[in-house]
């Protein structure tokens, strides 16, 4: 496989409007575009290889013309199946393509012929045959709501976010299971018998009182972890789905929160455990007491009714049996079911995140996962077609996420995990996503990109745009702990600019730390500035604004320009505008090859970046007679472009006699707004 950052720009296609129609109706004819850089090699023929009823078909493409150093091709095919899978096959004279023999095939005469064939799929460019797994995908499914694709999500763990005035009064209730804690003085226990029972007393009205904080960050989707009564601080062990935990303020507090959020233009999503209930749940208590009860069929018991299946064997989390018709009615289909009730007035939630969606409906030889996903999705959309439905799948999520049922995944595999590895600091004490490993390996940018493409390529473009991109969550260590100093700011730019929904976990804006998911659930430091390691509120607000104001970051394709060692560079692009993103974890020297950016885009680099974490200078080639310099380090800034040193990161782009030299001193991340990508005018 050939990755960007070697010999120059590579043939490119993605699911954005520059190249594909997005979704299509079954039976419709669609037109798909490929572009080939003139400097890479002159393709003599191009075919679209698509799968129809399981069998590949090859349709010839026609050349559309050239624009800004790219030759564009277009091919038509029919959408035969709900998921249309395809790739491109290119015929190029051997030795003409800008190849570095990465596949060991050789070129020219020693390859045994005068022509060479290349395959382009969502994973990359290959000079050998590859599996259909990473083919591009276009579906007939209705995409998720626009507000989800364009939104910035803010995750809240209610017990640790904020306490309202009523929660602080003398009448405050402390449940019998709880270990009461002082908000600012009691340390969170990351492991131990008291960990799930530490009770700090955050409530829903506390969130309502802090909506201005969330809005100021630019977040417009609030994701609440569970709010049902339970016997733990995390509430994933629901004792009932019929009411809001009185400790959080009860039903009335949820109504107030959603109404106040909606008045500000914010959405609110809940968190539902479809894989298990709590052992204290009314259903499970009846099931345990009476083997002949309907509820006994909601769970998995042995023949003697003395043992039951539970999530990872945890007794407090008995697993639900989705073969039960009664469970399907109670959980999904009934008017007062948890799936339905909370989406309706007076609660009006805007959607659900389904906990451990990858395990739901699966046990041994039984696999009802997609059946349950279909059941829940159909019910959600019958109530509110504009509701969002996401599901957790922490590993390789693509096989379960075609876009037909779940809109997107809360997954760590294609973004969070490779990002932690690329930005890894001294993290041997950090839990690496539940593995037995002592923290992440520190890898190069090429490994980040290869892993990202491996695990993102099998999603359709719509699903990629609707997946949750998080630096961390309530189930992981904090990015500030796992990454190099300042790494959270570098990662945040990638989170906001790569395809997907950026997700802040409450406390990220204060640079909170934590070695594992429990340590990460630190109460917010509202009253104690001394507990704020790094105030990043301005960064997150600026990144939210950039993503909101630049359509390329929500609608544009992604084209990787460089990925090697310490530097990642890519461009998000539409016909109207583009955004160039460069992230360097350390000093580095790198040259972008001719044609990486068009002349008009190079010229736009004469303006300061729209966002930068550190001092960045841009010097254009002499024929433009332009120099732009920005300084985001007010304490050390001199207002002058830095001298180039061995430790200075350098990026050079050349096109039609122009070049741009971008210089940073040390780790830095920056984004520039550029003109859009030109497509050849249609030919009759």
> Catalytic residues, which ones?
355, 392
Is 583 strand, coil or helix?
strand
Q: Scan for tokens 């109670």, then name that residue.
A: 330
Q: How far is CA 483 from the centre of its chain?
A: 18
Nearest to 83 by CA among 112, 61, 50: 50
C-beta atoms surrounding 409 within 10 Å: 26
Sign of CA dihedral 500, 505, 510, 516: negative
- Is residue 84 within 8 A of residue 139, CB to CB? The reply is yes
The conformation of residue 287, written as its DSSP 8-state character, comes to H
Nearest to 219 by CA among 268, 146, 151: 151
- Is residue 575 within 8 A of residue 676, CB to CB? The reply is yes
CA-based R_g, the chain, Å: 26
**How far is Cα 218 from Cα 79, in angstroms, rounded to an integer?**
39
Is 158 strand, coil or helix?
helix
The DSSP H or E segment spanning 490 is helix 487-497
Is 259 strand, coil or helix?
helix
Give the 3-state secondary structure of 396-428. CCHHHCCCCCCCEEECCCCCHHHHHHHCECCCC
**What does the buried/exposed string (b/e) look like for 254-271 if buried means 16 or more CB atoms within 10 Å of the residue's CB?**
bbbbbebbeeeebbbbbb
Residue 199 β-bridge partners: 180
Nearest to 350 by CA among 309, 407, 297, 307: 407
Helix axes 487-497, 537-549, angle to 10 degrees: 20
Nearest to 650 by CA among 594, 560, 548, 566: 566
Q: What phi, psi does 547 have (nearest 5°)?
A: -65, -35
**How far is Cα 405 from Cα 141, in angstroms, rounded to an integer?**
9
Nearest to 353 by CA among 268, 420, 417, 416: 268
Sign of CA dihedral 534, 535, 539, 541: positive
Q: How far is CA 510 from the centre of its chain?
A: 21
- Is residue 320 within 8 A of residue 326, CB to CB? The reply is no
- Is residue 253 within 8 A of residue 291, CB to CB? The reply is no
Q: What phi, psi does 665 have (nearest 5°)?
A: -105, 105
**How far is Cα 519 from Cα 515, in angstroms, rounded to an integer?**
6
**How far is Cα 532 from Cα 519, in angstroms, rounded to an integer?**
15
**How far is Cα 376 from Cα 367, in angstroms, rounded to an integer?**
16
């Amino acid at each position: 496989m050939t990755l960007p950052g070697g010999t120059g720009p590579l043939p490119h296609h993605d699911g954005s409007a520059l190249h594909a129609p997005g979704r299509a109706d079954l039976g419709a004819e669609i037109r798909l575009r490929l572009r080939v850089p003139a400097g890479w090699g002159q393709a003599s023929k191009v075919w679209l290889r698509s799968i129809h009823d399981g069998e590949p078909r090859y349709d010839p493409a026609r050349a559309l013309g050239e624009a800004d150093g790219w030759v564009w091709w277009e091919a038509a095919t029919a959408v035969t199946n709900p998921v249309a899978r395809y790739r491109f096959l290119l015929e190029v004279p051997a030795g003409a393509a800008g190849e570095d023999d990465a596949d060991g095939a050789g070129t020219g005469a020693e390859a045994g012929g005068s022509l060479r064939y290349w395959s382009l799929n969502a994973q990359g460019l290959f000079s050998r045959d590859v599996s259909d797994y990473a083919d591009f995908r276009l579906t007939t499914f209705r995409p998720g709501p626009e507000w989800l694709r364009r939104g910035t999500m803010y995750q809240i763990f209610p017990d640790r976010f904020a306490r309202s005035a009523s929660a602080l009064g003398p009448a405050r209730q402390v449940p019998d299971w709880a270990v009461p804690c002082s908000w600012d003085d009691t340390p969170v226990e990351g492991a131990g018998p008291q960990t799930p029972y530490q009770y700090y007393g955050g409530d829903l009205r506390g969130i309502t009182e802090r909506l201005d904080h969330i809005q100021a960050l630019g977040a417009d989707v609030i994701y609440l972890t569970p709010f049902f009564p339970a016997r733990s601080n995390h509430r994933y062990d629901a004792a009932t789905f019929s009411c809001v935990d009185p400790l959080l303020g009860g039903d009335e507090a949820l109504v107030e929160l959603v109404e106040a959020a909606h008045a500000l233009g914010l959405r609110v999503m809940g968190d539902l455990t479809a894989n298990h209930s709590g052992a204290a749940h009314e259903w499970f208590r009846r099931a345990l007491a009476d083997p002949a009860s309907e509820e006994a069929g909601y769970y998995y018991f042995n023949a003697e009714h003395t043992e039951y299946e539970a999530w990872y064997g945890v007794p407090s989390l008995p697993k639900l049996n989705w073969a039960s018709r009664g469970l399907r009615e109670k959980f999904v289909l009934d008017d007062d079911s948890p799936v339905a009730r909370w989406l309706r007035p007076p609660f009006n939630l805007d959607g659900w995140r389904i906990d451990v969606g990858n395990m739901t409906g699966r046990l041994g030889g039984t696999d009802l996962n997609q059946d349950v996903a279909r059941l829940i999705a159909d019910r959600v959309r019958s109530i509110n077609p504009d509701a969002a439905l996401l599901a957790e799948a922490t590993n390789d999520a693509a096989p379960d996420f075609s876009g037909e049922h779940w809109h997107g995944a809360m997954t760590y595999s294609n973004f969070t995990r490779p990002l932690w590895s690329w930005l890894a600091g001294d993290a041997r004490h950090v839990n690496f996503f539940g593995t037995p490993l002592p923290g992440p390996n520190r890898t190069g940018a090429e490994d980040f990109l290869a892993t990202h493409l491996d695990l993102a390529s099998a999603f359709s473009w719509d699903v990629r745009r609707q997946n949750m991109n998080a630096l961390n969550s309530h189930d992981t260590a904090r990015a500030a702990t796992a990454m190099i100093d300042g790494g959270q700011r570098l990662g945040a730019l990638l989170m906001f600019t790569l395809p997907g929904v950026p997700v802040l976990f409450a406390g990220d804006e204060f640079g909170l730390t934590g070695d594992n998911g429990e340590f990460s659930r630190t109460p917010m430091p509202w009253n104690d500035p001394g507990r704020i390691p790094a105030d990043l509120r301005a960064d997150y607000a600026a990144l939210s604004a950039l993503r909101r104001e630049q359509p390329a970051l929500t609608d544009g394709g992604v084209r990787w320009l460089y990925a090697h060692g310490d530097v990642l560079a890519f461009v998000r692009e539409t016909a109207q505008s583009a955004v160039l993103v460069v992230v360097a974890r350390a000093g580095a020297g790198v040259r972008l090859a001719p044609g990486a950016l068009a002349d008009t885009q190079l010229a736009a680099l004469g303006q300061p970046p729209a966002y930068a974490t550190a001092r960045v200078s841009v010097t254009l080639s002499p024929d433009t007679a332009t120099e732009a310099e920005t300084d985001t380090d007010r304490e050390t800034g001199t207002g002058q472009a830095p001298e180039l040193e061995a430790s200075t990161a350098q990026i050079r782009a050349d096109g039609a006699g122009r070049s741009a030299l971008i210089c940073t001193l040390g780790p830095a991340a920056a984004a520039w707004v550029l003109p859009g990508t030109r497509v050849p005018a249609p030919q009759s």
